């Protein structure tokens, strides 16, 4: 099986390569692609040196799986061309997430939505992925009526330019600004462009994508996205109002058995999820699980995950693994 990685030289692309190496997919070819300014650059993957190609060059290869991590404009320009040539496209941008014909997939939650005829598959937003991994077992058992979400998002979600801004500020250096304000020793409630409804694009992604993945179009959701000066991952404070009453011990048992979830919940021992310890891991960490004392069927939890891994690269590679297991693309 051939894998083409479009956006191989970017921050997420580098993590994609690392995850592909770790998970040991059986590949017959690997084609790293990037923009024209990076074409010709050399990358090492699984001990072999590859030369970065242009996207057009990859289109001439034998079809396999193309993982796009180069922004919505690139995906809109090329994804259909790859699909028409027989490639499965796993797209990490926002380009196709709202398309009703394109599966929006988190394998632990809705792998069943994958189908051989749907050649373009959307990878959800990083904050949405960790949210639904934790919420899906609860929603299936009790039904979720309403969600109130506050995110505390790593600068890595913005990209290398934002990481450089944080590092420069900590070292007292002047440099290019990814944000309109300093991020070190600061936080601001701004993720994505502000929309006409006064929410940001990142906040509305949490609303629309969560509804689509959970197949819950009427689920009431509100969200506030906050950028904070950390590198390890995104955190979310989530207030959940259920449709039915629950026993907290049963919720804990559901989460402990859920695929991809690690429960870290021991307040007496100061044990709870933190981005510092989620960094470099593929699991979604959940803690501070407690009953909401303000409503009858309410509860609160704290969800943390590495946004570059499970929030992007690992989720995409897991989708590729499902495609291979189903025999839609042959492997050796």
The CA distance from 109 to 137, in Å, is 8
Residue 122 burial by CB count (10 A; 0-12/13-18/19+): exposed, middle or buried?
buried
Q: Give catalytic residue positions.
A: 126, 234
159: left (phi over 0), alpha (psi -120 to 50) or beta: left
Phi/psi at 261 (nearest 5 deg)? -110, 135
Residue for token digits 């014909």?
101
- Give the contacts of 20 (CB within 8 A, at least 6 positions apart): 3, 5, 27, 30, 45, 317
As given in the structure block, the two tokens for residue 204 are 């509305």
Phi/psi at 146 (nearest 5 deg)? -150, 145
DSSP codes, 246-300:
--HHHHHHHHHHSTTEEE--BGGGTB---HHHHTT--SEEEEEEEE-TTSTTEEE
């Amino acid at each position: 099986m051939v894998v083409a990685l479009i956006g191989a030289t970017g921050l997420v692309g580098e993590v994609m390569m690392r995850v592909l190496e770790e998970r040991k997919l059986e590949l017959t070819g690997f084609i790293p692609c990037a923009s024209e300014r990076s074409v010709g650059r050399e990358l090492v993957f699984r001990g072999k040196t590859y030369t970065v190609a242009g996207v057009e060059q990859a289109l001439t290869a034998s079809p396999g799986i193309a993982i796009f991590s180069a922004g919505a404009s690139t995906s809109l320009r090329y994804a259909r061309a790859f699909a028409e040539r027989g490639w499965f496209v796993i797209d990490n941008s926002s380009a196709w997430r709202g398309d009703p014909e394109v599966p929006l997939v988190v394998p632990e939650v809705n792998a069943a939505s994958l189908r051989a005829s749907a050649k373009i598959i959307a990878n959800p937003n990083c904050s949405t992925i960790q949210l639904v991994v934790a919420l899906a077992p609860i929603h299936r058992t009790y039904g979720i009526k309403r969600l109130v979400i506050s995110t505390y998002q790593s600068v890595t979600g913005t990209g290398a330019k934002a990481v450089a801004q944080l590092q420069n500020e900590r070292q007292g250096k002047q440099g290019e600004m990814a944000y309109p304000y300093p991020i070190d020793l600061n936080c601001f409630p701004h993720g994505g462009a502000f929309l006409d409804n006064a929410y940001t694009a990142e906040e509305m992604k949490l609303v629309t994508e969560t509804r689509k993945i959970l197949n819950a179009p009427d689920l009431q959701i509100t969200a506030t996205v906050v950028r904070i000066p950390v590198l390890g991952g995104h955190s979310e404070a989530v207030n959940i109002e259920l449709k039915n009453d629950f026993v907290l011990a049963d919720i804990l048992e559901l989460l402990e058995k859920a695929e991809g979830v690690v429960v870290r919940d021991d307040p007496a021992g100061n044990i709870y999820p933190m981005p510092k310890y989620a960094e470099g891991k593929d699991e979604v960490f959940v803690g501070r699980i407690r009953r909401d004392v303000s409503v009858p069927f309410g509860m609160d939890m704290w969800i943390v995950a590495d946004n570059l891994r499970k929030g992007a690269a690992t989720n995409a590679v897991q989708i590729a693994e499902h495609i291979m297991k189903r025999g839609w693309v042959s492997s050796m």
